[in-house]
Chain A
């Protein structure tokens, strides 16, 4: 089943009186369980695609479907609901809440989603943190963890609510290559284990190598869209 579909998407940014076309009519669909990388040089439009898929932005033209449902015209509040329930984010700079522990950071999306039973919440949170290898770091705050550990918390946070789609914007850019590879390996394992769909933007060769499908963008257009052999 198609998890997400972009149809002839155009996106134009206006800065003052100047127009910047970021996307110029791109179309593709993402199937459930895919491990997809969107690659391209700076300014190619990869982050814009991620923002549109993540319901953070609206296209200037074209349609976006999430699980066959047209979400293009949904109001901002409804888009927030879609994000809350269906989309997990992993950021380049981890973006954990510094005043919360690893446990609390991961628990947060569950609370937002309306999981009110604290016991169940703690069980699920602990389970996923154990899965990402942070069983002994449950009560540490972000500043008490390494970059790799923080990104693992971010991965757990993105996955804990069992979203349809996980969007990762250059998830390894702030990590050294060894840690970056560990994180990619972790995401790949979780993708295979849970069939969660992962889409990440990158210009890192290593990340592209991990992807099972690679869409290359250039100047707001799809340059290539190909399946990649398993590493």
Chain B
């Protein structure tokens, strides 16, 4: 076996130019695939982070029945004792912050223009613990508790031509069907440009007390948004919250960001199927490279194969020489691919891939995606996948040429003039 391997190893370097071409095809192909996977993973991670940081937080406590109707943003399912629940959970060390919020349907009016939007009533003093909206203020300032001011998403502000200090009217709907609404004249305190384009285009933030008064909710809220310290402990924290809530009279449900983002996850799942086409194409390139190189090797070494057979080398052994040879090219190529993928992935993690040159409007098209810079997410799993894929393809692709080699008639092979 050692001799067969030695023979294969030396044969790899026998036709240097051809080996280099195949090696390059595998290393660049698989390397770019690894970079592509890093980018996709990064976009997914970043997009999910955006949903958590600006929309859902890690967990939400909702009145029973709310989640099913969440797309309607209903006001009839409310958490009636938010302070009591906060007190119940305050000793939980895994929770970083809990914010009482009210989500409502609204529209914003500026002069003759009116745009529908999502109203989000927040607790300005708690919000920064749970969300990253405060860090996204690009103009003006964040909200103060109990003031009659709002923060507008940058897209909304742009579309209505509003800026900090301008006055506008917020039409708050109790019921869209029955067209029951209340209107508030408010000044714009700040403009938020988050990394989540959906929020920028659709959301208005107002202080909680103001919304509760306008919607006659008293102390009730539609949700409690919870940020936990470590996302890996999500299940544990959720279970512990559910256990605490069970002691209350009213039924509540605890919903994670994963459930909230189920549509997005489905989208990711569908896209990952499309994404599978990339490795498939790389598999094709690598397979063709290896098959071509090894078939050429078989053709050029026909007489040598005849001689090996004459010496009594078994078919299995002849096959192994060619399979080892193909596998070695594949392994070397895959290692180089891991280096290319690793460097590319590292660069994507550190710097990211900017779409700024396409202009800001691009974020209107890719609504869930990060703003302008696509960052990579390099994992050991991606590199391991690249290495294993390259090796396995090369071994499999070597089978056919190896089979061709052992099918040669030794007599004809010995007569072959190469």
Q: Which residues of A contact B (CB under 8 A)?
A: 51, 54, 56-57, 77, 80-85, 87, 89, 91, 93, 95, 97-100, 104, 107-109, 111-113
Contacts and interface: CB of A to CB of B under 8 A. Distances in A.
B73 interface: no
A109 B311 contact: yes
B10 interface: yes
Given A93-B303, A98-B14, A54 B310 contact: yes
Interface in B3-38: 3, 6-7, 10-11, 13-14
A80 B309 contact: yes
B94 interface: no
B411 A51 contact: yes
Nearest to A154: B307
Given A51-B411, A80-B314, A95-B304, A100 B309 contact: no
Contacts of A56: 309-310, 410-411, 414
Contact of B411 (A57, A82, A91, A97): A57
Contacts of B314: 77, 80
B411 A83 contact: no
A87, A91, A97 — which one has the most chain B CB atoms within 10 A of its CB? A97
A80 B312 contact: yes
Main secondary structure of the interface of B (DSSP, over half): helix
A109 B13 CA distance: 23
Contacts of B312: 80-85, 87, 109, 112-113
Contacts of A80: 309, 312-315
A51 B314 CA distance: 17
Given A57-B411, A100-B10, A104-B3, 10 more contacts: A51-B411, A54-B310, A56-B310, A77-B314, A80-B314, A83-B312, A84-B311, A84-B313, A91-B414, A99-B10
A21 B307 CA distance: 25
Nearest to A48: B411
A130 to B, nearest CB: 22
B180 to A, nearest CB: 87
A203 B304 CA distance: 24
A111 B309 CA distance: 14
A109 B7 CA distance: 13
A84 to B, nearest CB: 3
Given A57-B411, A108-B3, A83 B311 contact: yes
A105 to B, nearest CB: 10
Contacts of A98: 14, 304
Contacts of B14: 98-99
Contacts of B414: 56, 91, 95
Contact of A89 (B3, B7, B311): B311
A72 B41 CA distance: 64
Contacts of A108: 3, 311
Contact of A97 (B7, B13, B310, B315): B7
Contacts of B7: 97, 99-100
Nearest to A96: B307
Contact of A99 (B11, B310, B317): B11
Sorted from nearest, which 7 A-B pairs have the closest CB atoms?
A84-B312, A99-B10, A83-B312, A95-B307, A111-B3, A89-B310, A80-B312
Contacts of B6: 104
Contacts of A113: 312
A142 to B, nearest CB: 11
Contacts of B317: 112
Nearest to A95: B307
Contacts of A91: 307, 414
A113 B7 CA distance: 17
A57 B371 CA distance: 73
Contacts of A99: 7, 10-11, 13-14
A51 B3 CA distance: 27
A111 B311 CA distance: 11
A91 B410 CA distance: 13
Nearest to B316: A77
Nearest to A111: B3
Contacts of A57: 411
Interface string B405-418: 00000110010000
A93 B413 CA distance: 13
29 contacts: A51-B411, A54-B310, A56-B310, A56-B410, A77-B315, A80-B309, A80-B312, A80-B314, A80-B315, A83-B311, A84-B311, A87-B312, A89-B311, A91-B307, A91-B414, A95-B307, A97-B7, A97-B304, A98-B14, A98-B304, A99-B11, A99-B13, A99-B14, A100-B7, A108-B3, A108-B311, A109-B311, A111-B3, A113-B312
A82 B312 CA distance: 7
Interface string B233-256: 000000000000000000000000
Contacts of A51: 411
Contacts of B313: 80, 84, 112
B303 A95 contact: yes
Contacts of B410: 56
B14 to A, nearest CB: 6
A107 B14 CA distance: 20
A213 B10 CA distance: 42
B321 to A, nearest CB: 10
B105 to A, nearest CB: 77
B383 to A, nearest CB: 32
Nearest to B14: A99
A83 B11 CA distance: 25
A91 B411 CA distance: 12
Contact of B307 (A84, A89, A104): A89
B10 A112 contact: no
